[in-house]
Structure formats: C-alpha cells, structure tokens
C-alpha cells in the first residue's frame, strides 16, 4: 500500500514538485501524527505519517491538535 497525499499519489509529478509537510509530536520519543485512531493517532515511523501538500493545511490541523491536547507539543515539520 502506497502512502497518499491528500488523495494524490506520492509518485505523481504534482506531488513531487512541491514540498511536503507533516506534524511532529514531542512525546517520550519524537513521533508524527498518523491518519488512524489514537489519542492522537501517531507513529514512530516517519513514512507512515499523515502527509500534507500545503503547509497551511498542516498548520490548521496542528492548531486543532494544540487546542485539543494542550499538554503536548506539536509543530509542522518538512516531510
């Protein structure tokens, strides 16, 4: 199964032409927000992280995560 970028395949020309973004979480170990259930859903494997084409979309979700989980540290990171 290949990782998808906002409904676009990672191998497509338009997805590779732009910088990709993800959301990093500071926990016991650094991890990334993943697109599955959890509190919040996260992964230790970077390639399994939820990927964003637009930095603004990543920043919006990051802001929601900061509001929902105020005791955790989140930031937008280059994938």
pLDDT in tens, the chain (79 residues): 334 454 444 444 454 447 999 999 998 888 999 999 988 899 999 999 999 999 999 999 999 999 999 989 999 999 8
Phi, psi angle pair for 43, to nearest 5°:
-140, 150
Domain ranges of the chain: 4-78
Confirm whether pTM is higher than 0.75: no
């Amino acid at each position: 199964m290949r990782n998808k970028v906002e409904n676009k395949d990672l191998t497509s020309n338009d997805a590779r032409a732009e910088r990709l973004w993800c959301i990093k979480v500071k926990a016991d170990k650094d991890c990334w927000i993943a697109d599955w259930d959890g509190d919040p859903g996260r992964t230790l494997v970077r390639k399994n992280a939820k990927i964003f084409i637009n930095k603004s979309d990543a920043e919006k979700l990051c802001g929601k995560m900061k509001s929902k989980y105020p005791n955790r540290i989140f930031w937008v990171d280059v994938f």
